[in-house]
Amino acid sequence: MTQNPLLAPIEALIDYSSISPAHIEPAIRTLIEEARSAVERAADPALPATWADIVEPLDDAGEKLWRSWSVAGHLNAVVNTPELRAAYNQCLPLITEFSTWSGLHTGLYAQYKRLRASDAFKDLAPARRRIIDLALRDFRLSGVELEGADRERYAAISDQQAQASQKFSENVLDSVDGWSLYVDDASRLDGLPPDVVDAAKAAAREDGKEGWKLVLKMPCYLPVMQYATDRSLRQEMYRAYATIASEHGDAKLDNSPLIEQLLALRAEEAALLGYASYAELRLETRMADDAGQVLDFLRQLARKAKPYAMRDLQELREFARDRLALDELQPWDVAFVSERLREERYDYSEDEVKQYFTEPQVLQGLFQVVEKLFGIRLRASDAPTWHPDAKAYEVLSAAGEILGILYLDLYARQGKQGGAWVDGERNRRARHGAVRTPVVYLTCNFSKGQNGRPALLTHDDVITLFHESGHALHALLSEVDDLGSAAFSSVEWDAIELPSQFMENFCWEWGVVTSLSAHVDTGVSLPRALYDKLRAAKNFQSGMQMLRQIEFSLFDMNIHHQAHGLSIQLVLEALNEVRKEVAVLFPPAWHRFPHNFSHLFAGGYGAGYYSYKWAEVLSADAYAAFEEGAASGAGDTLDPLTGRRFLKEILAVGGSRPASESFAAFRGRAPSIDALLRHSGLGE
């Protein structure tokens, strides 16, 4: 039998081109057994309680298992097929059962406690002492101290949560993939950018149809909402998107019961572990102290933002009435009217700007930014990938040493989950005198170029790419030697967005924008006059945008700061209560936003969505250090000296120390909210 590619040695790169769904279950079963044996050996009380005898063997076995499972999960997200989904779902309970079993292993817990109490503990490096302390915390949060029926119930809850979250994301994907609108009247597409029309025509041809095919994936949906002059088309698309995976569509894809199930299970899990709510449980692993602190933080931001948001909305309504003859601004008009207002006020359109941001030039510019800031280079690699659209790059130090591998998969397609994210296949690790380098995936959903032309990115797309690159750099530029200190393993969840939001700032710098831009037809950079308009519009509707994020964050915290689960009706009522408190825009009663909120119900952000705003305070303040350097004579914000300090104190240290200490080491003080308000145009 051919060697299973998922069982390749950990130091080798995975050959994605040779993976089939049939490889997944045999590999996962084999690696679970190896990891289970490693746990049993490490838990033997006759074994010395040392790092070398307990932690390293567990990492050896666990590293291989989680690498293979990460690959399976990644493929399930980006090249989903019925066969791949079935193989993944077959293994999900196996993985969940193993994770729960090891987290509940009292013998292993006892060994970690012995190690923590031993004389050898004091001789460990601070990062390793922190790993032990975090492991003990995680054991407690995994229910290791539960007994009897509570212990069995905890294991069942873990399995049911994993299954429900996976089904939630499948329903969203299938609901999006299952909806389309074929248009045979070209006039209905009036106003749409040519590349969007071309892509819709190509999509229809692929289905053997004439005309144009519109879908709910962002590269199609968003331009329709921004540019289509046909109001009924916008309304039809809006309603379809607003009711994804809800009772308003295919009953088999309705996420209502899954939302109820997940909230009930999370509340029950928290109660079993002695917490008043799931939010209280999750905040044990965050920078924030408690739910009250988070709610106060969000409401403080809301008070600052709401006057600006009310002004934004009043301007929008007046413009819609006076210039577009829309006496009543409907939800499906907001993006369209906003774009018209922005075009008039700042005298440019997003489509005009998009012609300058071709994907090859944007990538080249991004690579130049990280080279100048952090002293690294990216070089194309011929490593095999999972799809022709995906590309591999080697990340090189200034001396030419390979620091890691970055895979980019940037285009939307059928069978690929929407959104943008970064995940890791393998973390950096030093073992037996050698360093194993990280392997990282960066995934987006941009519109692919048509008719031989390169993909054109909106400026928001460029910001998204820079955001995700910050996550990727956090893993790729790690200098920690142990898996337990890897960024994605141990950085507090409400600090994990710091590097990503930090990188977004460079997309607004003139010197960077010139390197990112080359007109698709002429090759010239974005003109200064157009940049000035773009920059002037940076905080256009920033009040409404901030309130929208606060609305999501308060909703998340409120539904998870409960002693019990909630019915779907109470979930929707909770959302309406939050809107009454902070929102200025109110969608129709049939809008089903929670049903498509994968961050909360399938993406690990449950009771943690506030992290985006929390980390935005950190990132804005961190970027202010670059602004201060530029003002004091560094020339511009692409200052290598400040960049190397950011690398040393934030990126390279991963989770080897608390995030608050890393921030203070970089900034010399605790974070301040002032830079965020200034950057958002919401200062006093």
Q: How far is CA 525 from CA 11, 339, 363, 458, 466, in A?
A: 42, 23, 14, 15, 19
- State the Cα–Cα distance between residues 497 and 49, nearest whole angstrom: 36
- State the Cα–Cα distance between residues 602 and 244, nearest whole angstrom: 15
8-state DSSP, 669? S
Q: How far is CA 246 from CA 250, 514, 574, in A?
A: 8, 44, 17
- State the Cα–Cα distance between residues 464 and 359, nearest whole angstrom: 13
Q: How far is CA 257 from CA 168, 569, 594, in A?
A: 10, 11, 12
For residue 161, the one-letter residue type is Q
Place of tokens 């506030």: 610
- State the Cα–Cα distance between residues 647 and 627, nearest whole angstrom: 17
Catalytic residue list contains 468: yes
Determine contact, residues 516/360, Cβ cutoff 8 Å: no
Place of tokens 């393998």: 426
Instruction: Kindly provide the b/e burial profile for residues 84-101, where b requires at least 16 CB atoms within 10 angstroms of the residue's own CB.
Output: bbebbeebbeebbebbbb
For residue 383, the one-letter residue type is A
Q: Is the dihedral of CA 425, 427, 428, 434 positive or negative?
A: negative
Beta bridge partners of 421: 443
Distance between start and end Cα atoms, the chain = 69
- State the Cα–Cα distance between residues 505 and 620, nearest whole angstrom: 8
Nearest alpha carbon to residue 680 among 498, 526, 504:
504
For residue 86, the one-letter residue type is A
Determine contact, residues 558/294, Cβ cutoff 8 Å: no
Determine contact, residues 173/417, Cβ cutoff 8 Å: yes
8-state DSSP, 358? B
Q: Is 406 helix (H, G, I), strand (E, B) or coil?
A: strand
Give the Cβ contact number of residue 143 at 10 Å: 21
Determine contact, residues 197/189, Cβ cutoff 8 Å: yes
Of 280, 350, 468, 551, which one is the catalytic site residue? Answer: 468
Q: Quote the distance between the C-alpha of residue 329 and its chain's center.
A: 32
- State the Cα–Cα distance between residues 401 and 395, nearest whole angstrom: 8
Nearest alpha carbon to residue 565 among 157, 238, 283, 293:
157
Residue 524 class from Cβ within 10 Å (0-12 exposed, 13-18 middle, 19+ buried)? exposed
Three-state secondary structure readout of 190-243: CCCCHHHHHHHHHHHHHCCCCCEEECCCHHHHHHHHHHCCCHHHHHHHHHHHHC
380 phi and psi angles, rounded to 5 deg? -55, 140
290 Cβ neighbours under 8 A, 6+ residues apart: 280, 283
Beta bridge partners of 214: 181
Catalytic residue numbers? 468
